[in-house]
Structure 1
Amino acid sequence: MTGIGPRLRQERHRLKLSQSAMGTLGGVETNAQGNYESGARYPKADYLLRLVDAGVDITYVMTGTRSSDVGPYTSVTPPPSHVVDEHLGKVTHQLHRNLHGLIDALYQMALLIESRVNDTADEAVKKELDTIRSEAQALAQASVRLIFVTSKLS
């Protein structure tokens, strides 16, 4: 593999991380992580330094030569607990933000479906819309529970 992007992707795979998880560890959004891996953009130094704390072999990413203490298929020493706590807080915040958006969209959908059910005489359509509304409400309730449970993590 040549270039920083493919080597960054290889390190992410070695650590068994998703693009979203690796981006969070580095302090960037998922699309930025994808751009780094594809070579569309180059990562900044602060991002790379955060990845070092997470166990990424930065020497390999930058030069293509592995550090002597990290093999291509070895596990890494877990990051210190303060690093994990910081990243857990960031991920939890991002999850809550996304869930709040989901809940709002589900609420809007339920309102629109409610008005649509009242406007149609077709029983099959009413039944389908009622099913969608019920599932949206269940998903919103599950999202609220998830926010509550994960708020205890940070």
Structure 2
Amino acid sequence: MSADIRPTGERLREERTRLGLSQPAFGEIAGAAKRTVIDWEKGVSSPTVMQLSALMAAGVDALYVLTGVRAELDSNLRPAIDAAEAVAIVVELLDEFDLQGKLAIDQIRILANWIVEQRATKDEARAFVAGGRALSIGQLNSAPTKGGK
């Protein structure tokens, strides 16, 4: 699979048109003016992380915009899990496995970071915790990565 080497602005325009959005509608989603969207598409400026996040929520393939590689073309690529999602998964697992008081704050942080780094699904995190591997900081620090790395 090769990356699209066109400028980011062109890929952003392609995503906007793929979604059937006008420049004003696209800008509204991102909290930006039509003029700003025009500048993005011309390569004069780029959306902020927060704007790109809002556009992702509307269906923009941010991986494609940023790298030229479409996420859906590679089954190994998943949308990134942000820290808030990771914390929500950890909180759910704390309840599910009755781990309150068993994991130190550092362990919770490390588990949340592992989820983010591995782009782990809730089921993968559940299996990780169910296997007892999340109960020691040393084990979390040496946690297996996808592909056994």
Length-normalised TM-score, structure 1: 0.43
Q: Larger helix proportion, structure 1 or 2?
A: 1
